[in-house]
Amino acid sequence: MIHASSTECGETSEGKELGLNWNKERKKKERMDFQMMRVQSLSEGDIAEVPAQYIQPPEERPPISDDLTVIDNSDEDNVPMIDVFGFASEQRDTVCKLIGDACAQWGAFHITNHGVPVELLDQIRGVGLSFFKDCPVKDKLKYACDPNSPASQGYGSKMLRPEAETSTVLDWRDYFDHHTLPLSRRDPSRWPHFPSNYRQVVAHYSDELKLVAQKLLGLISESLGLPTSCIEDAVGEFYQNITISYYPACPQPHLTLGLQSHSDMGVITLLIQDHVGGLQIFKDSRWITVHPQSHSILVILADQMEIITNGKYRSAQHRAITNSSSPRLSVATFHDPAKTVKISPAFELTSNSSPPKYHEVKYGDYVSSWYTKGPKGKRNIDALLINC
């Protein structure tokens, strides 16, 4: 009774202290709750202005005056579209040359006739959208990822460790990260059970995209005059994650980013998006909006590819912008080395006249540093440059 009244009124010194601590704890919890708040809940709360934590510094803000100017560049000035002819051997030399040019100039390209059934592309977009749109946030939260562990599997809204976040603006994005390969990491019971075919579609998509990634690594190796298996041998067994990102409509797209500027940390990313558009690639000092192509797959070179190729092919810097009218969905499939694998420039690509440009790095160390420091464009890979 005494305790109850003294803490409630804060009359005794012990009570005051308890009251202060309680207040501090409550404030901390409110801050945490805010940080954990899903962007979708904010967006559906019908707010006119985005909370301060989502406002980018002026130099990072996208120059959007209204939503219709999001896709402003012409077809000629967009990532190359390459028909890979089902990876048929008769077309291999031609395809290899086109891929080599796209890797050197863009670090990204679309592929068609990749062998993944278009129905499967539609299905994974469909189950992803259904999870985000039709499942109440409280049900989605049953799959919440561990906010203290980077790249943990599940439903999340932020990428960085809490200690890094204090100085980092939050992204206008919710996502679901799935650990899909190797099979020892795949546990579909941790993925949404709604809609009912969700788990089966993600597993099927994972298997198909692994095959595409393997074939692409072969072509990319050959495009540099390397043995077909060179890059895949350097990477070892694929660690594959699939991230479905959902970017709710944003009341102030000119102040925010769906996903801040970064390059992916692994080897190769295969991305599909819906018809809305918002992915941009930084090329020749400007941001270019990638035209959505519903049946093609966008290939994005990631940082370990830049190291293995000794900078002949550079990882693509990219970001996602938001818009005020339509939510947007993308599915990114990342292919990474195991954390224990050491990555260094392929010896075939180095010589006395062309020495290694990057320090060797254990992939696990690279990942930890990326999550601790935050992406900020390409600063993580640039930190490995020799003599820099």
Alpha-carbon distance of 281 to 262, in angstroms, equals 10
Task: List C-alpha distances in Å: 343 to 77, 94, 164, 267, 324.
Answer: 33, 29, 25, 10, 41
3-state SS string for 108-140: EEEEECCCCCHHHHHHHHHHHHHHHHHCCHHHH
245 or 309: whose CB is closer to ligand AKG?
A: 245
Residue from 174, 177, 208, 264 touching Fe ion (CB under 5 A): that is: 264
Per partner kind, with CB cut-offs from 5 to 8 A, the member of Fe ion, ligand AKG, none near residue 178 is none
60 or 139: whose CB is closer to ligand AKG?
A: 60
Minimal CB distance residue for Fe ion: 264
Amino acid found at 84: V
CA dihedral 201, 207, 210, 214 (to 10 degrees): -140
Taken in order 172, 105, 296, 302, the sign of the CA dihedral is negative
| Residue 121 DSSP SS3 | helix
Q: Which stretch binds Fe ion (CB under 5 A): 20-28, 38-46, 188-196, 263-271?
A: 263-271
Alpha-carbon distance of 119 to 287, in angstroms, equals 31
Closest approach of ligand AKG to the CB of residue 333, in Å = 10
Q: Is 241 in the site for ligand AKG (CB under 6 A)?
A: no
Per partner kind, with CB cut-offs from 5 to 8 A, the member of ligand AKG, Fe ion, none near residue 265 is none
| Joined tokens for residue 364 | 């696990």
Q: Is 273 in the site for ligand AKG (CB under 6 A)?
A: yes
7 or 280: whose CB is closer to ligand AKG?
A: 280
Closest by CA position to 301, among listed 361, 219, 362, 383: 219
245 or 315: whose CB is closer to ligand AKG?
A: 245
Size of the site for ligand AKG (CB under 6 A): 11
- Could you say which residues in the range 44-63 bind Fe ion, by CB under 5 A? none
Task: List C-alpha distances in Å: 247 to 37, 65, 342, 348, 374.
Answer: 14, 19, 34, 42, 20
Per partner kind, with CB cut-offs from 5 to 8 A, the member of Fe ion, ligand AKG, none near residue 223 is none
What is the end-to-end Cα distance of the chain in Å, rounded? 67
Q: Is 264 in the site for ligand AKG (CB under 6 A)?
A: yes
Task: List C-alpha distances in Å: 11 to 21, 27, 93, 368.
Answer: 14, 21, 83, 48
Q: Is 303 in the site for Fe ion (CB under 5 A)?
A: no
Q: Which stretch binds ligand AKG (CB under 6 A): 17-25, 46-54, 194-202, 271-279?
A: 271-279
96 or 270: whose CB is closer to Fe ion?
A: 270
Closest approach of ligand AKG to the CB of residue 42, in Å = 18
Q: Is 171 in the site for Fe ion (CB under 5 A)?
A: no
Closest approach of ligand AKG to the CB of residue 102, in Å = 18
Q: Is 320 in the site for ligand AKG (CB under 6 A)?
A: yes
Q: Is 301 in the site for ligand AKG (CB under 6 A)?
A: no
Let me know: does 72 contact 258? Beta carbons within 8 Å: no
Let me know: does 263 contact 315? Beta carbons within 8 Å: yes
Q: Is 330 in the site for ligand AKG (CB under 6 A)?
A: yes
Amino acid found at 97: K
Q: Which residues bind ligand AKG (CB under 6 A)?
A: 243, 245, 259, 264, 271, 273, 279, 318, 320, 330, 332
